[in-house]
Structure 1
Amino acid sequence: MGLSVSFIGYGEVGSTFSRDLLRNGVGRILAYDILLDDPARLAAMLERMTHDGVTPADTLANAAGAGDVVFSAVTADAVEEVARAAAPFLRPGQIFLDLNSASPSTKRRAAEIVQAGGADYVEGAVMAPVAEPRLAVSILGGGPAAERAAALLNPLGMNIRPVAVEHGRASAMKLCRSIMIKGLEALIIDCADASAAWRVQDEVFSSLGQSFPSIDWPALAVTMRARVERHGVRRAAEMREAGEMLAALGLEPGLCQAVAERHEQVAKR
Structure 2
Amino acid sequence: MADKIGIIGFGEAGQAVAGGFTEEGNSVAAYDLQYNKYLERAEELQVNLFDNKDEFLKNVNILFSLVPCSVSLAVAEEFIPLLDSRKIFIELSASFPDDMEKASQIADNNGIDFIDGAIMGSVINFKHKVPIFLSGKKSVEISKDLKKLGMNIEVIGDKAGQASASKLCRSIYTKGTEALLVELLKVTEHFDITDTVLNSIDKTWYLNGFRAEAERLFKSTEKHIERKHAEVVNVVKMIKDIGVEAYMSQAAETVLNQKKDNLTK
Does TM-score exceed 0.5, indicating one fold? yes
- Note if 1:78 corresponds to 2:65: no
DSSP-derived class of the 1:167 partner:
coil
Corresponding residue to 1:92 among 85, 98, 105 = 85
Corresponding residue to 2:44 among 44, 48, 51 = 51
| Residues 237, 260 of structure 1: 8 Å contact kept | no
Deviation at 1:268?
Answer: 2.7
- Deviation string for 1:116-151 (max 9, x for gaps)? 211111011111121222221110000012123321
Structure 1 counterpart of 2:6, one-letter code? S
Q: Following the alignment from structure 1 to structure 2, what is the Cα–Cα distance between the partners of residues 96 and 163? A: 18
Indicate the larger mover: 10-19 or 185-194: 185-194
Q: What is the aligned-residue RMSD (CA, Å)? A: 2.1
In percent, how many aligned pairs have the same letter? 27
Deviation at 1:184?
Answer: 0.9
Unaligned runs of 5+ in 1: 37-41
Q: Following the alignment from structure 2 to structure 1, what is the Cα–Cα distance between the partners of residues 38 and 237? A: 32
CA 262–91 in structure 1, closer or farther in 2 if over 3 Å, else same: farther
- Deviation string for 1:192-229 (max 9, x for gaps)? 24323322012211332344253522222221111111
- Note if 1:181 corresponds to 2:174: yes
CA 214–141 in structure 1, closer or farther in 2 if over 3 Å, else same: same
Structure 2 counterpart of 1:33, one-letter code? D
- Deviation string for 1:94-134 (max 9, x for gaps)? 11010011121121112212332111110111111212222
Q: Give the corresponding residue for 1:5.
A: 5
Corresponding residue to 2:185 among 188, 192, 204 = 192
| Residues 80, 89 of structure 2: 8 Å contact kept | no
Structure 2 counterpart of 1:29, one-letter code? V
Indicate the larger mover: 179-188 or 71-80: 179-188
Deviation at 1:263?
Answer: 5.3
Q: How many residues align?
A: 262
- Deviation string for 1:67-99 (max 9, x for gaps)? 210010011101111001102211113110100
- Deviation string for 1:165-188 (max 9, x for gaps)? 111112221111011111111221
Q: Following the alignment from structure 2 to structure 1, what is the Cα–Cα distance between the partners of residues 259 and 47? A: 31
- Note if 1:33 corresponds to 2:26: no
Unaligned runs of 5+ in 2: none
| Residues 71, 99 of structure 1: 8 Å contact kept | yes
- Deviation string for 1:51-77 (max 9, x for gaps)? 111111132344345421001001110
CA 72–64 in structure 1, closer or farther in 2 if over 3 Å, else same: farther
Q: TM-score, normalised by structure 2?
A: 0.90
- Note if 1:134 corresponds to 2:133: no
| Residues 65, 91 of structure 1: 8 Å contact kept | no
Q: Give the corresponding residue for 1:201.
A: 194
Q: Following the alignment from structure 2 to structure 1, what is the Cα–Cα distance between the partners of residues 140 and 33? A: 30
Q: Following the alignment from structure 1 to structure 2, what is the Cα–Cα distance between the partners of residues 259 and 195? A: 16
Q: Superposition pairs for residues 226-237 of structure 1, below 5 Å?
A: 226-237=219-230
Structure 2 counterpart of 1:258, one-letter code? T
Q: Superposition pairs for residues 99-138 of structure 1, below 5 Å?
A: 99-138=92-131
Q: Following the alignment from structure 1 to structure 2, what is the Cα–Cα distance between the partners of residues 63 and 228? A: 34
Q: Give the corresponding residue for 2:261.
A: 265
Q: Following the alignment from structure 1 to structure 2, what is the Cα–Cα distance between the partners of residues 181 and 67? A: 35
CA 131–48 in structure 1, closer or farther in 2 if over 3 Å, else same: same
Q: Give the corresponding residue for 2:19.
A: 19
- Deviation string for 1:33-64 (max 9, x for gaps)? 1222xxxxx2x311111111111113234434
Q: Give the corresponding residue for 1:222.
A: 215
Structure 2 counterpart of 1:16, one-letter code? A
CA 159–136 in structure 1, closer or farther in 2 if over 3 Å, else same: same
Structure 2 counterpart of 1:261, one-letter code? N
Structure 2 counterpart of 1:126, one-letter code? I
Q: Following the alignment from structure 1 to structure 2, what is the Cα–Cα distance between the partners of residues 132 and 266? A: 28
Q: TM-score, normalised by structure 1?
A: 0.89
Corresponding residue to 1:145 among 138, 146, 165 = 138
| Residues 104, 167 of structure 1: 8 Å contact kept | yes
